[in-house]
Structure 1
Amino acid sequence: MTELNTKLALVRACMRTQGLGAIRFRGVDWFAWMTCGGSSVVLLSAETGVAEVLVTDEGAWALTDNIEAERLTREELPQGLQVAAHPWTDSRPREAFVKARTGVGPVGSDRPAAGEFPLPAQITRARSSLMPEELERYRALGRDAAAAMTDALLAARPEWTGFELAGAGAQALWARGIHPALTLVGDARRLPVYRHATASREKLGERAMLVFCGRRHGLFANLTRFVYFRQPTQEERRLTADVAGVEAAAFAASRPGATLGQVYAALVRAYADSGHPGAEALHHQGGSCGYLSRDVVAQPGMEVPLASHNAVAWNPSLPGAKVEDTAVVSAKGLELLTVDPRWPTVRVEGRERPDLLVR
């Protein structure tokens, strides 16, 4: 059974259970999931794109306008998904098409309009458990995003501004067909001050942090790296080691069936054990991911469980120090996706983790 057929069977089974006549997948995240990695994105920041997917018991269609129909058919959609196009000047034919195929039956959607119902929980849970084909796409994305990060930071110079480093990062991602959803830069002065030190006109100075959230085939690769143009101080090394220890605790707690609240609690304990009690309150610690940069951000007591083959990205931080990679949890253990063999590493709790790049 193909990936599309597996997903259609799942969606239709949920429709029957919930008594729904159809489901509309409107968001760019859900479009990518349902089309097995297709993209409805034109405007990078848009939550809904230039097409949606309609699934009924009888068929499945990508609904779009006459501008996009041919391109989507040739470049974005899997075999087995038909296209229904309407004039770009008038969306009423789209709604008439949907009504003709659903009749009076209720409609579900990831972004419900008037009279529609939210997606069944079974579908939301299923998206968290990545299929083999999705994992292969994710692994390739992770490798490419990590390589883009290495390229950008090997090219960086202390006299560059944050804008220039962000631009170099975006260029390296685009060169690999990855949408630069986020290229966050912290320069030497602002790194210890702001956990989210967005790119600015300031020069990088003696060190810099670069953060990626890169999207391809709808999936997000999230990672953070640091470059130093001098030798790190003993204190900088200590803080870097401390956040790596906190991350190791999060990794150890990340397993199928564990809740995000349990992983968060492990982070809290690790901060305290390393001499930084309460540090978790100063920045979010990451969470589960996949078709969003974070599907769910972990919070205290949260009972959302991790699924088998669920992607996660934890990002513990301290002033001027942070660590982040995208990984997948399964019964076999944790698989890191955003790895480039060119990047220097240090061993933390039996696992190779990114070290500071000193140039």
Structure 2
Amino acid sequence: MVMQPGTEISEKLTSIRDTLEETGAAGVRLRGTDWFAWATGGASNTVLLAAESGVAEVLVTPDGAWVLTDEIEAQRFRDEELTGDRGEFYQLQVAPWAESTKREAFVAEVTREGKVLSDRPVSLLPHSPEMLLPTALVQQKRTLLPSELDRYRQVGRLASEAMTEALTQAKPDWTEHQLAGVGAAALWKRGLHPALTLAAGERRLPLYRHPTASAAPIGQVAMMVFCARGFGLYANLTRFICFGSLAAEQKELHRQVREIEAAALEQCRRGTPLNQVYTSLQQAYKQQGYPQAIYEHHQGGTTGYLAREVVANPATTDCLMANMAIAWNPSLRGGKIEDTFVLHPDGSLEDLTFDPNWPSVEVEGRSRPVPLEL
């Protein structure tokens, strides 16, 4: 059962207003799909799935909080997005869709034309310049509250179930388009947005790290990758299937990928900078005999309200913190592994996308997925 977002929203509004006081700003505008979901306790402003911002935004001042939208969206937001606790914390402010200046006039009025902070600052009016949100608030978005973790567990479970359902239906004569389509349908059936459904069969799998689905048949081996979004939170996972027995060299390839991932997971402790995890991955690739592989694909990083909040590289000094979500995706040509974990205050890692119905092996005390032989 997902917790009601009332306490969560109250805490977040307090944080936003503390930011206003610390910066001397008059208001905060949150336009992105990630920040909208964060501020509203999991509501959605998304219509176009690929868009980074949506059809409504959050505005918070020291003494008010609104969802700003237009007449096209207003009734649906009243009926479906601002229900329950959300409707108690946020007023709906509606402007004509063809007269955006009326929205800006409202913002100018309630902020008294003062400084405004935003996740995606714009300067539509000369008297209302906008500035980026401070780092402290951004960091807060990346550390999850208990109610957010409850929702995240639900998203992870549903995403992994959708993956298992789709891949167990697959046939070797399916095209990659068919496989990706069945995967997307399994996500939609569970109320999740298929933000990403990559699919690759045996011909294209060794060629591309981001194999957008094609009309090629999948053949004997296939991979599917999900970035599944629910309540604004991303569950990221990768799985493989094989029709018949996996060849010995492929088994060894997947074993090596699991060992590389284990090196990264071992480094996931509170206070560890992401570039330290990156270095451990680099060393693990070398130990497995692939010193150049780390340059062939990004290795993942922190996740949450974005598919990747911060991607780890040699220069990322951002540190892991308790209740951050993490998704590493080390890969070799033809092999990859990925799940979404959360780092708990006691230092343990919880796999949010683990499906007990999927085959796994133990690696350094953790159950890790292996290719499903059909």
Give deviations 1:300-336, integer Å, cap 9, x for gaps: 1310112210011100000100000001112321110
How many angstroms apart in 2 are the aligned matches of 1:104 and 1:195?
Answer: 48
Tell me the C-alpha RMSD between the 2 structures: 0.9
How many angstroms apart in 1 are the aligned matches of 2:58 and 2:354?
Answer: 33
How many angstroms apart in 2 are the aligned matches of 1:174 and 1:231?
Answer: 31
Are residue 87 (structure 1) and residue 92 (structure 2) matched?
no
Are residue 14 (structure 1) and residue 23 (structure 2) matched?
no
1:54 aligned residue (49, 54, 59):
59
> What is the aligned partner in structure 2 of residue 306 from structure 1?
320
> What is the aligned partner in structure 1 of residue 44 from structure 2?
39
Q: CA deviation at 1:279?
A: 1.2
How many angstroms apart in 2 are the aligned matches of 1:255 and 1:23?
Answer: 33
Contact 1:15–1:22 (CA under 8 A) maintained in structure 2: yes
Are residue 277 (structure 1) and residue 295 (structure 2) matched?
no
How many angstroms apart in 1 are the aligned matches of 2:307 and 2:196?
Answer: 9
> What is the aligned partner in structure 2 of residue 140 from structure 1?
154
> What is the aligned partner in structure 1 of residue 229 from structure 2?
215
TM-score under structure 2 length normalisation: 0.94
| Paired amino acid for 2:143 | S
Are residue 335 (structure 1) and residue 340 (structure 2) matched?
no
Structure 1 vs Structure 2: percent identity of aligned residues? 52
Contact 1:308–1:330 (CA under 8 A) maintained in structure 2: yes
Give deviations 1:255-309, integer Å, cap 9, x for gaps: 2211110110111111111221121001000011101101111101310112210
> What is the aligned partner in structure 1 of residue 188 from structure 2?
174
Q: CA deviation at 1:234?
A: 1.2
Alignment of 1:1-359 (within 5 A): 2-77=7-82, 78=86, 79-114=88-123, 115-332=129-346, 333-359=348-374
Greater Cα shift, 195-204 or 218-227: 195-204
Q: CA deviation at 1:194?
A: 1.4
- Structure 1 ranges of 4+ moved more than 6 A: none
Which consecutive unaligned segments of at least 5 residues does structure 2 have? 1-5, 124-128
Contact 2:300–2:328 (CA under 8 A) maintained in structure 1: yes
- Residue 146 of structure 1 aligns to a residue in which SS? helix
Greater Cα shift, 162-171 or 298-307: 298-307
How many pairs does the alignment contain?
359
| Paired amino acid for 2:353 | T
